[in-house]
Each structure stands twice: as C-alpha cells, then as structure tokens.
Amino acid sequence: MIKGSLPEHQSPTPEQFAELSHDGLPFVMRGLADNWPVVRAGRESAEAALGLLASLDSGAPADVMLAPPEIAGRFFYGPELRGFNFSRQKVPLSAVAGKLLELSADPAPTAVYAGAAETRQHMPRFDATHPLPHVEMQRDARSRVWLSNRTEVATHFDLSDNIAVVALGRRRFTLFPPQATADLYVGPLNNTLAGQPISMPDPLRPDFAAYPRFEQAIELAQTAELAPGDAIFIPTLWWHHVAALDSVNVLVNYWYNDATRGGGFLALVHAMLAIRDQPLEQREAWRHWFDHFVFGEDAPHSADHLPAHAQGVNGPSSPERSEMIRQFLLNVLSSPG
C-alpha cells in the first residue's frame, strides 16, 4: 500500500548527522546504537534486555496504558469518540517489564504500553551507560524510554525534533510530511490520547470509504522497519505512525528543539478563535498581515524601518523580546471584555 521508503544511512557520525538533519527531512540511521548494553543483551534474549533495564529502575511509578485484546494493540478513541479504548495505571518500569514477559507467550494478550518515561527520573543511570553523542550536542535533549508488546501509536506529530532508537524488538515507522495534514483527517485538537492530536485513519488498515482523501496522504507516505540498534530522525511537525511488531519492545527517544509554551500550535488554536470565523474579506486581509509579519521571506525585517528602541514585539528575536511578547499577550487576554 505504502510505496515510499525512508532514506537510510549507515551509522552516521554526529557531524554527519548534523549535516543530514539540517534539511529538515526524516531518515533512518542503521546500527547507530548497536553497542548499547541493552541492545547487546537483547541479542541474547528479551529477558536479558528487560533484566538490564529493571536493574536501572528507580522504582518511580510510570504512566502505563492497558487495553483488552479486542483492540489488537491499537490504542484509540472509544466508540463515537466518547472516551478511549484503554485505561491508565501508574506502576514502576520493572513491573511493566515483568508483565510484558508474562504476556509474551499469549497469542491474544492485553495491550501494554508505557510511554515517554524520562530516564533521568525512572532510570537515572541509563544515559551514562547508554551514551548517544548525536544528541549530546543538543542542549535540551532528554532521553525517554517506551516499553510495550505488539501495539500501535496512532499517527501524530511532535512540536520538536526527534531521534528514536529501537533497543529491543522491531518497529515499523510510517511518516507523512506536514503538507499531508489536510488529507489526514485530524482528530480533536483539545481531547487527545496522549498529548498531540492524531490522524483518524489507520495507515495499516485504511478505510478509504470513510476517509477518501487519505488516499492522497498515502501517496506522500514513507515507511521503514527498524531493528534493534537502528534509529530514526523525525523532524518537527512530521506525522508518524509507530507499530511495535514483537511481543516485547523497547524504544528510547530524544526530543529536542522543543517549542516552548506550545509554540505555533497554540497560535493556531488562538487563530481559530480570532480569525477563522470572520467574514471572508477579513480573513483575506489577515492573510496579508500574516504573510508580512510571520511567513514572508522578509518577515524578520518587517520592523527595520523603526529605531531599535521602538521595534517592540516586532523586533529581532531575543529573550527580552520573547518576554515582551508574553507580557503583551497576557495583558490583552486577561483584560475584561
């Protein structure tokens, strides 16, 4: 169904990664973490890999999603988008690991998914024993671990760049570029499964009768299957669906260049309130404003005709300007009426 394949590179150096990622396009890095202790342990057995992770566990409770076998591993909304098809618990990662091993021989197991557990809280010695120089150059990168059995993460996007490393099991990534958004049938923006809005169609079992424009999105999709030790770079705002293919799976990811305070997403939601429902002629007028002050090639210079001390919120990027904008917005949004 999906014809496109993600570009691949064999274990690029940190310098090569910096050059490759500069274009803002996704790619696979084969063998990037082949020497990680958890990857080497996984070559022996899943028990050995999970035992190693359990030995690093701080015992802090992690967020875990559980769902009945009937969902076939696809965490999603409930019928008619009322609620969700899973429940949540908080248990230590070592307990999750034990449960995954217990269920690994079950042909129709309960779906178990522990996601985005920060290693500095849950496995504080992980980074020292599993270094990744490619993210050490990123000042705000933090490692997170994900444990699951055969599950699917619905197609979603992140507000930051992402390096994801497969440590145990195999994962299939299906990516869609930002320009496919209109054909992805985006779900609720403010009622989400786990943070970011998702795309409603299932790319592994697409229903083109319910979502006819999704066929156009599929034409832009790229996919790759990653083995333990492989990694993938997913740029900001690229949609991605992730399927864990084995009975026990571990992934470690690093988000960086994170958008502070919601970034453009909150601006988008506010634009719906302030602009989207206005008459056509007003929306068209605002389009010109946004082109001039935000999206145009010369937008960063739109206040160059003013003295530096008078440029205000439209001046060059700086921490001072960012704080000035925040205060301006707080004053406007909190004023009566």
**pLDDT means over runs of 10, the chain (337 residues):** 92 97 97 98 98 98 97 96 96 97 97 97 97 90 97 96 98 98 97 93 96 98 98 98 98 91 87 95 96 95 94 92 90 82
Contacts of 5 (CB under 8 A, 6+ apart): 222, 223, 224
298 in the same domain as 186: no
**Rounded to whole angstroms, what are the CA distances from 294 to 276, 316, 320?**
17, 12, 19
Q: Which of 258, 276, 307 is the last residue of a domain?
A: 258
Residue 108: C-alpha distances to residues 149, 242, 306 (Å): 11, 20, 67
Q: Are residues 325 and 191 in the same domain?
A: no
On whether the CB atoms of residues 103 and 247 are closer than 8 A, the answer is yes
325 shares a domain with 200: no
Same domain, 238 and 291: no
Q: End-to-end CA distance of the chain: give it in Å, rounded.
A: 52
Q: In the chain, how many domains are there?
A: 2
| Structural domain that includes position 300 | 262-334
- Write down which residue in 208, 229, 258 finishes a domain: 258
Within this chain, do residues 157 and 285 fall inside the same structural domain, yes or no?
no
Q: Are residues 238 and 99 in the same domain?
A: yes
Residues 153 and 295 in one domain: no
Last residue of a domain, one of 209, 229, 258: 258
Give the per-residue pLDDT at 90: 97
Beta strands in 3-96 (DSSP E): 4-5, 8-10, 27-30, 61-67, 87-92
Q: Are residues 222 and 277 in the same domain?
A: no
Are 135 and 76 part of one and the same domain? yes
Full-model pTM: 0.94
**Residues 315-337: pLDDT tens digits?**
999 999 989 988 988 888 888 86
At residue 180, the pLDDT reads 98
CATH code of residue 143: 2.60.120.650
Per-residue pLDDT tens for 124-138? Answer: 999 999 999 999 888
Quick one: 320 and 212 in the same domain? no
**48 Cβ neighbours under 8 A, 6+ residues apart:** 41, 42
Same-domain pairing of 145 and 203: yes
Is the sign of the CA dihedral 26, 72, 244, 139 positive or negative? positive
Whether residue 272 is found in the same domain as residue 254: no
